[in-house]
Amino acid sequence: MFTENLVHGLALIGIVIVLASLLSGVIDRSGLPQVGIFLILGVLVGPTGLGIVNLRLDSPALQVIATLALVLVLFSDAIAVDMRDVRQHRGLGALVLGPGTLIPAAIIGAAGHVLLGLTPLESAIIGAALASTDPVLLRNLLRRPSLPTTARMALRLESGMNDVVLLPIVVLAILLVQSGGTVDTMEFGQHAIGLFLLGPGLGAFVGFTAITLLEQVRSRAGVRRDYESLYALGVAFTAFAAAEAVGGSGFLAAFAAGLMVAALDVELCDCFLDYGQATAEMFLLFTFVAFGGWLIWTGLEVISVPALIFAVIALAARTAVLLPVLARSGLAARDRRLIAWFGPRGLSSLLLVLLPVFAGMPGSVHLFQITSLVVLLSVLLHGTAIALFLRKDVGPGEKLETDAGPPAKSAPAPEAVMVPERITIDEMRRLQESGEQVIIADVRTDRTWNPDQVMAQGAVRLPPDDAVRRARQLGLDHHGTVVLYCT
């Protein structure tokens, strides 16, 4: 009744969702490199394993998967940007997105030209692709409260926005290669307008229109919070399709739509971060499994002394540039080292270098293989470093989620007090007067809490994305009544 490909595809999606869910706590607490785990899963379901995944560079399915993944990466990065942070740290942002991104791209491109014999345009493409830092690999690190605030802001801004700096380089280089290196001023101008003006302009328009429509419906009839996250994903895909339909850049349109949402509707941002980001992250992990089936391992086929030297330069260039660039930023030495070191290459690099492959550019397969080799080494090197940092972050006496035993036995709880889902201040006071242990918890998202950090008297801070670990650190009573507030 059903085709074998459909069954295999559904099986793969099911495996990814089940494993991602079951391993989420272990990965979060232990610091295990999540990407590495799903690349290995790709091997198990790939041609050398169960044979469920067998994607090639010319597979139509790969283009669909890669396109959707790049749209989700750009949109998720943009919608997670806190405009207050951008304004507050604009100098730091300018350093990491300007010289901190473009100089490493130039160094990597020059190394590719000298060591690998790449043409100048091929060098520009691989330099831009490998200058992109990967938000998927950095996700667990950026969630850790112990990461210094300045380092978190710099890494979040860089991983969230440097793709939009590097994407035009890749696209314009592809156009020049396809035109034989000769520049038709009129045609090139049309492409530039579509890339820099039409795409972002349409994306911003779609984002603004979507927010206006949502506000009208929200005020009149209300919208379920979980559906708002799906609404945000719909905005991303609509912006992409609208721009591509008129010759603009759908990728930059998706990014612009995300920025518009981040700037105008904090509630929709938080809904997406609460619900939609999990959906996006699941798809990105699915993409890693698809690459891990066979494609990324083609990077091992091009191992040679020049290729390994190039890989070392590609991984070291960003650190070598950022350390002196950040020296005059006024940051603490530890912050500078953290920012400079944690720059993994991953899915973003692979997706950018696939664009010339899909365009049929000569030599693009070799570029993909070289990029795959660097990404594999980065997953090993940076993934291990992030895991060590996260394990070091576990406080004294705090067990990892993976080896935590059963909770200690507590004294019998007093007679249960019926507490409604919503509680007034007077009702809370009556609970306290009756002897009930009442814990007041501030559960605002970081985006809402950071601007003032003012809490109710006697409240504790429980970040919604790290509430369990924080509650354990504070030793909160398991049998108490927790009163949550978020405004």
The rounded distance, in Å, linking the Cα atoms of 295 and 59 is 11
Find the mean pLDDT for residues 216-235.
80
Instruction: Give the Cα separation of 108 and 311 in Å (integer).
Output: 9
Q: Which residues 6+ apart lie within 8 Å of 107 measured at CB? A: 127, 313, 317, 320, 321
**pLDDT bracket for residue 23 (50, 70, 90):** confident
Q: Does residue 31 surpass a pLDDT of 70?
A: no
Q: For 59-100, list the strands marked E by DSSP.
A: none
- Report the 10 Å Cβ neighbour count for 4: 8
Q: Which residue has the tokens 């280089």?
A: 173
Per-residue DSSP letter, 418: -
Instruction: Select from 304, 385, 310 the least CA-distant residue to 344.
Output: 385
pLDDT, mean of residues 16-29:
73
**Span of 170-174, 220-224, 349-353, 387-391 with lowest mean pLDDT:** 387-391
Percentage of the chain beyond pLDDT 70 is: 82
Q: What is the pLDDT of residue 397?
A: 42
The overall average pLDDT reported for the chain is 80
> In the predicted model, what is the mean pLDDT of residues 139-167?
82
- Beta bridge partner(s), residue 484: 441
Is the pTM higher than 0.85? The answer reads: no
Task: Say which residue the tokens 């795959």 belong to.
Answer: 372
CA distance 474 to 87: 33
Q: Are 228 and 282 in contact (CB under 8 A)?
A: no
List, for residues 348-374, the tens digit of each pLDDT value.
899 999 999 998 899 999 999 999 999
Q: Order of strands across the sheet with 481-485?
A: 460-461, 438-442, 481-485
Q: Residue 487: its pLDDT value, please?
A: 63
**What is the chain's alpha carbon radius of gyration, rounded to the nearest angstrom?**
24
- CB within 8 Å of 302: residues ≥ 6 apart: 366, 369, 370, 373
- Does the pLDDT of residue 400 top 60, yes or no? no
Residue 102: pLDDT above 90?
yes
Q: Which residue has the higher pLDDT, 305 or 398?
A: 305
Residue 299: band (very low, low, confident or very high) from pLDDT cuts 50, 70, 90: very high
At residue 457, what are phi and psi to the nearest 5 degrees?
-60, 130
pLDDT at 125 over 90: yes
**How confident is residue 413, by pLDDT bands cut at 50, 70 and 90?**
very low
Beta strands 438-442 and 481-485: pairing type? parallel
Q: For residue 122, which of 132, 110, 133 has the smallest C-alpha distance?
A: 110
Q: Where are the domains of the chain?
A: 4-186+265-392, 425-485
CATH of domain 4-186+265-392: 1.20.1530.20
pLDDT at residue 406 tops 70 = no
pLDDT above 80 for 301: yes
pLDDT at 47: 82
Cα–Cα distance for residue pair 153/214, rounded to 1 Å: 29
**Has residue 282 got a pLDDT over 80?**
no
- Residue 112 predicted with pLDDT over 80: yes
pLDDT value at residue 409: 41
User: Where do we find the tokens 């930059």?
Assistant: 252
HEC string for 169-208? HHHHHHHHHHCCCCCCHHHHHHHHHHHHHHHHHHHHHHHH
The mean pLDDT of 81-94, rounded to a whole number, is 79
pLDDT band at 412 (very low <50, low <70, confident <90, very high): very low
Q: What is the DSSP annotation of 21-56?
A: HHHHHHHHHH---HHHHHHHHHHHHSTTTT-S----
Q: Alpha carbon of 23 to those of 10, 35, 120: distances in Å?
A: 20, 12, 43
Name the band, by pLDDT with cuts 50, 70 and 90, for residue 329.
confident
Spatial distance between the Cα atoms of 16 and 36, rounded to a whole number of angstroms: 13
